[in-house]
Structure 1
Amino acid sequence: MLSDRITDYIHYLRFEKRFSRHTLDSYQKDLEQFRDFALEQFSLDSATNISHFHIRSWLAALKDQKQSPRTINRKLSSLNSFYKFLLRQQAVEKNPVRQLHALKLPERLPSYMKEQETQHLLEELQFDEGFKGFTDRLICELFYQTGMRRQELLQLKEADIEWSLQQVRVLGKGNKERLIPVHPVLLDELTSYIAEKKIMGLPDDGHLLVLENGGPLYPVYIYRTVKKYLSIATTLQKKSPHVLRHTFATHLLNNGANIQAIKDLLGHSSLAATQVYTHNNIAKLKEIHKQNHPRG
């Protein structure tokens, strides 16, 4: 049955690939959605009987539901990865997804803050008083100074800070580890923060940043915190943790960093994902040219 195959695949992703809970949930939701569609529309409950025709019908239904091209492509990618797994398990003879093509996406440049806006955020803006404000400011500092993802920040431990080498060890997608340099001033702030946790007698489960009661941070808390302070510091429409990640990469590029180095710092698996930041760089050059050249 298709449900059993999906269970086996999710088990594989969890225990062998060691994917995050968030990623596992996304894969499972996508695959179960396709399973339900195949069963309801075609009375199919076996991976071997599914063809590219059935999958194309599913994609058409998603379009009718006004799903975005990006979302549809993600679901198609989930199904493709699932069938690759089934091929390795010799549970199917072919991958029907290979006969389909991903939808063309509109070009979407990353939103990022100007340098004066990040300066206002981190040096001039008043955060809340007390331990909560301390935590919130460090959330914003870490996102901007390291470019890490929200999930990476959530699982960051005190033991991941390499104090003598002035760097932080981050566990990224696919359980890949990378090292990111951090400024000594940020290390001093983290030292004070850890000392404050001990003074407050908060329970110690190893997490670097915690709530006022010592409990671990959670995704919505981080999102709301970043949105709150970015709403004060910038006029950007988007105000999420990923904006600070984009800002980290864009400011590095604008100040002369090598694109390969930025790729490694961000934890991208391919250079293609990082090259989107060069478009922002070109847009900035065009703006400078227009403002300063006599024939601009």
Structure 2
Amino acid sequence: MAKGALSFEEIAVTRRWLAKRGVEVVTPSWLLAARVGPRLSRTVPGRFRWLAAALAVGVLLCIAYGFFDFRDGEAPVSVYFCFVGGALQVALWWSYLRRERELGPLPVMDQRSGRRPPVLGILGGWYASSFVITFGGGVALALAVYLSTPAKAKAYATGWLLALGWAALCCSVILLSALRRPVHAEDRASMAVDTELRVMDSQYAIPGVYAVVVLYDPLLGDGPPAGFTGWLIAYAVLGIGTTLLGFRQHHRRPALPPGNYETPVGCERLA
């Protein structure tokens, strides 16, 4: 299978991405451009179609959710944001992964030469905590609301659990791909880039957003019993706070190691 043609933008954004990590090149290797380019390019072929399809899926879920029988209570409105947002999130991630595959087959290192980095080495402690707080803490809090007396609280908790389930599914699809896929590399340099791209891909999950969304209903005065408002605020602050700290930790990644990233600056005439 022949390798696909890279766009000028994909090559340019790869050069800039490498420069930010201490590597100056005139022309990045095809492998690096085929992996970094689709993730940072603003014009990915087919992206609009994937986003449109995801929007349709989100709307269909919202319609189905609207027919759900909550009996004596009303469904939380914030769930609609979770359905649509989660679908768009996965579509955006899939669009650049699809473009990466369209460009051609990627080399795969054997497990002896290229082992996948550990989970915490990719996510970091703060970012991993944000998943536990957003989904684990969210489920615990939703169950506590459900077990309270009012029927309205049960309706709110049921809708919230459905939203958390969908959000967790969308985030898990992205994370499992980033953490479990094989190492696409040829040498030490491309292996280091593969690790950095796993970190980049994991950032598309953004779990803390789903913790903040639940505050929409209390702001409208249509949330859980008043006794849970303080808990919801604390939950949202912890969820988005640990996510932001995780992003900050990701931005402090070390520079790429020395290696062959293709034609370095100053060697144009020798290339």
Q: Same fold (TM over 0.5)?
A: no
Give the alignment's TM-score, normalised by structure 1.
0.24
Larger RCO: 1 or 2 (CA < 8 Å, sep 6+): 2
